[in-house]
């Protein structure tokens, strides 16, 4: 292969210009600001409707067009166990009643020989 030759190219190939591709649509730059002081500049077509919020590509938090009123980070609740959900539905007295009922049933099944242990 000759020195200075570019592999994968052919005669007549080159970057397509606007003459071949057509004229680009007029655009406007919109800047979004997130809670972590990240700044994101996006290009939109002039006719396009610009969204009020956009997810920050760096941290994933919501970003706003207004730098003074940036959206707060969404609050995430910690993982709840099954017991936590049960405690939300039942009071302590209901829980003791259900436990006593289950223990009586288990003890009666043990006496009759249905449950070995």
pLDDT score at 18: 61
Low-confidence ranges of the chain (pLDDT < 70): 1-21, 117
Take residue 26 and report the two structure tokens written for it: 């007029």
pLDDT score at 17: 59
pLDDT score at 53: 93
* pTM listed for this prediction: 0.52
pLDDT score at 115: 76
How far is residue 30's CA from residue 53's CA, in Å, rounded to a whole number?
A: 11
Mean pLDDT of the chain: 85
pLDDT score at 56: 94
């Amino acid at each position: 292969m000759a020195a200075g030759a570019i592999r994968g190219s052919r005669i007549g190939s080159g970057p397509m210009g606007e003459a071949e591709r057509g004229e680009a649509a007029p655009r406007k730059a919109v800047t979004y600001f997130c809670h972590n002081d990240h700044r994101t500049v996006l290009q939109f077509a002039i006719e396009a409707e610009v969204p009020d919020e956009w997810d920050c590509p760096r941290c994933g938090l919501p970003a706003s067009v207004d730098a003074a009123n940036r959206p707060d980070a969404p609050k995430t609740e910690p993982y709840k166990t099954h017991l936590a959900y049960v405690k939300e539905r039942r009071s302590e007295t209901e829980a003791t009643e259900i436990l006593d009922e289950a223990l009586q049933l288990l003890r009666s099944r043990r006496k009759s020989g249905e449950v070995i242990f």
